[in-house]
């Protein structure tokens, strides 16, 4: 019995440490990018996956201790995938006592009609879902839309864009939509996927698998994930270092002529009588 008690104590300490770290990182991201303002109504998008569950849980904890007042509204989109467990999220959210909405829209049929059999459906599915959620945010008067992308998602997208798109771009922690009608925030931007997975397991969220449509995750992203995992084994700080680089951009050290005025670079004019060695 003693060994069981000791194991439980160790597990509880580990969970407490993990919870504190997660809450701190969410708080830092919210503060660094001014994600939430006084009186904001935040639409928290829930997919039923570990990331969005963790995001809602951590935002609810932040809501209790934050020096400002803000509302949280949970929103899930039921895309009518065959076998989707329709009662899981409503029962979970009702138990939390939070305002929530379930949007029913059959994007599944649209995706299956457009995408050839055997091809990944994730990209089109995501675009259709995003458009619907943006419209719904207006309908319920949301000031911000919270999405569950984390640090590893951001770094993976950076490499996807470099390797397959020829551009240097990732996922910003905060973004205004092209039409200016919505502001998207990503409170998990400083959280790594391993911590989120462990947190979700400890919190026993009722995870809904993202394979109900029979689609597999984009193969290119899987390759990037595998590459980054290999790097992380060699150097556990590698992914964090890459993420830090995204926040420490030096335009003059790149080659984007629209970002930096290379044409205007001229040699400093020195007096002919001043030796170059005397220059700082």
Domain of 93, CATH number, reads 3.40.50.620
Share of residues in the chain with pLDDT > 90 (%)? 66
Question: Does residue 122 fall inside a structural domain?
Answer: yes
Query: Is the model's pLDDT at 270 over the cut of 80?
Result: no
Share of residues in the chain with pLDDT > 70 (%)? 84
Q: What confidence tens digit (pLDDT) does each residue in 112-144 have?
A: 667 666 556 566 667 777 778 888 999 999 999
Query: Is the model's pLDDT at 238 over the cut of 80?
Result: yes
Using only C-alpha atoms, what is the Rg of the chain?
Answer: 23
Q: What confidence tens digit (pLDDT) does each residue in 8-66 have?
A: 788 888 889 999 999 999 999 999 999 999 999 999 999 999 999 999 999 999 999 99
Question: Does residue 208 fall inside a structural domain?
Answer: yes
207 near 50, Cβ under 8 Å?
A: yes
Q: Name the phi and psi angles at 259, rounded to 5.
A: -95, -30
Question: Does residue 15 fall inside a structural domain?
Answer: yes
Residue 25: Cβ-neighbour burial (10 angstroms; 0-12, 13-18, 19+): buried
Q: Which residues form the domain of 68?
A: 2-217
Q: What is the pLDDT of residue 1?
A: 39
From 78, 5, 33, 280, select the one nearest 175 (Cα to Cα): 33
pTM of the model: 0.86
Q: What is the pLDDT of residue 20?
A: 97
Query: Is the model's pLDDT at 213 over the cut of 60?
Result: no
From 78, 95, 218, select the one nearest 157 (Cα to Cα): 218
Question: Does residue 228 fall inside a structural domain?
Answer: no
Question: Does residue 269 fall inside a structural domain?
Answer: no
Q: What is the pLDDT of residue 4?
A: 40
188 near 51, Cβ under 8 Å?
A: yes
Q: What is the pLDDT of residue 80?
A: 72
Query: Is the model's pLDDT at 3 over the cut of 50?
Result: no
Antiparallel, parallel or unpaired: β 174-176 and 183-185: antiparallel
Q: For all residues of the chain together, what is the average pLDDT?
A: 87
Question: Does residue 280 fall inside a structural domain?
Answer: no
Question: Does residue 149 fall inside a structural domain?
Answer: yes
Q: How far apart are CA 92 and CA 84, in angstroms?
A: 15
Other beta carbons within 10 Å of 61: 15
CA distances to 24, 33, 160, 172, 263 from 29, in Å: 9, 6, 23, 11, 36
Higher-confidence residue: 166 or 126? 166
Question: Does residue 8 fall inside a structural domain?
Answer: yes
Report the Cα 13 to chain-centroid distance in Å. 27
Q: What confidence tens digit (pLDDT) does each residue in 74-98 have?
A: 999 887 777 788 899 999 999 999 9
Mapped onto helix, strand or coil, the DSSP state of residue 175 is strand
Number of domains forming the structure of the chain:
1
């Amino acid at each position: 019995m003693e060994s069981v008690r000791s194991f439980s104590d160790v597990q509880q300490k580990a969970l407490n440490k993990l919870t504190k770290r997660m809450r701190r990182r969410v708080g830092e991201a919210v503060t660094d990018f001014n994600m939430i303002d006084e009186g904001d109504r935040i639409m928290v998008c829930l997919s039923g996956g570990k990331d969005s569950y963790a995001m809602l849980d951590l935002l609810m904890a932040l809501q209790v201790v934050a020096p400002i007042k803000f509302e949280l509204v949970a929103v899930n989109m039921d895309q009518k995938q065959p076998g989707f467990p329709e009662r899981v999220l409503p029962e979970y959210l009702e138990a939390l006592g939070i305002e929530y909405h379930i949007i029913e829209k059959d994007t599944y049929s649209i995706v299956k009609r457009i995408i050839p059999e055997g091809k990944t459906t994730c990209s089109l599915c995501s675009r259709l879902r995003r458009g619907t959620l943006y419209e719904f945010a207006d309908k319920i008067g949301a000031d911000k839309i919270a999405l569950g992308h984390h640090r590893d998602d951001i770094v993976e997208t950076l490499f996807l864009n470099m390797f397959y798109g020829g551009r240097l771009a990732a996922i910003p922690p905060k973004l205004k939509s092209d039409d200016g009608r919505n502001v998207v925030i990503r409170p998990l931007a400083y959280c790594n996927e391993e911590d989120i997975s462990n947190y979700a397991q400890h919190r026993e969220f009722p995870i809904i698998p993202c394979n109900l449509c029979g689609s597999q995750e984009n193969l290119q992203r899987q390759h990037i994930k595998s590459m980054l995992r290999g790097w992380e084994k060699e150097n556990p700080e590698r992914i964090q270092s890459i993420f830090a680089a995204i926040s420490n951009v030096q335009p003059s050290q790149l080659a984007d002529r629209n970002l930096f005025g290379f044409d205007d670079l001229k040699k400093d004019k020195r007096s002919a009588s001043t030796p170059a060695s005397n220059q700082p």
